[in-house]
Amino acid sequence: MPSAIKLIVGLGNPGPGHLMTRHNAGFWFVDVLATKYSLTFRSEPRFKADVCRLTDSGDDCLICKPMTFMNRSGQSVQAIASYYKIPVTEILVVHDEIDFAPGTIRLKEGGGHAGHNGVRDIIEKLGSNEFKRLRIGVGHPGDSAEVINSVLGRPSAEDTEKIMESISTATDLVPQLLAGEFQKVMYKLHSSEKLKDKSEKENDDEKND
């Protein structure tokens, strides 16, 4: 029986100076999700996080934005999971992914941190890597020496639009995640990406005619 999602964690850095940076794509996702369901985040000092609760068709889920800065995200996740007795397998962490182009968004279960400091800290604090991840493509700068500057910088208007479109697609599938339909969501995201790629190729071909 697939595990339903009981905690969605959007990763980012607090403060207006970080708001629109690539590293805050996880925050963008949960903010869009909260707006979609008319939810309001409230500060929860005991968790060092902003939190709201989503209920859909009887499924109940907490949504969290750690306010600890990225490299200490695990503090908030561990505190909430411990307090509400949420198993690691019922946690979804949403974060930026430099290895995916803007507009690509994929689900993953388990695995390493791939150099992402927020994910690294969550693995360390939970003592497990078995949580699910929703990885939002923000693009790679092409030079490993520029990765930090890139993720802490703002994407172009075109890339921002692609990222937000992928986020909108994924938020539409959240009810299925809450119901534990993980494989179905993976398939739908993959199918959506293939259709988008086909459409973009056709548009490019028309321009070249």
Domain boundaries, the chain: 7-208
Examine the residue annotation and report whether 23 is marked as an active-site residue of this protein: yes
156 burial via Cβ count (<10 Å: 0-12, 13-18, 19+): exposed
DSSP sequence for 91-124: EEEEEEETTS-TT-EEEEES---TT-HHHHHHHH
Per-block mean pLDDT, blocks of 10 residues, the chain (209 long): 86 95 97 97 97 89 97 97 96 96 92 91 96 96 91 95 95 93 89 62 52
Taking the C-alpha atoms of residue 95 and residue 10, their distance in angstroms, rounded to an integer, is 6
Catalytic residue from among 23, 116, 140, 190: 23
Whether residue 11 contacts residue 73, with contact meaning beta carbons closer than 8 Å, is answered with yes
Taking the C-alpha atoms of residue 26 and residue 30, their distance in angstroms, rounded to an integer, is 7
User: What pLDDT shows up at residue 204?
Assistant: 52
Q: Which residue type is seen at 44?
A: E
CATH superfamily of 7-208: Peptidyl-tRNA hydrolase (3.40.50.1470)
User: What pLDDT shows up at residue 208?
Assistant: 52
User: What pLDDT shows up at residue 206?
Assistant: 52
User: What pLDDT shows up at residue 107?
Assistant: 93
**Residue spans of beta strands (DSSP E) within 4-77:** 7-10, 42-44, 49-56, 59-66
User: What pLDDT shows up at residue 115?
Assistant: 85
* Residues 122/124/128/129 CA torsion (nearest 10 deg): 60
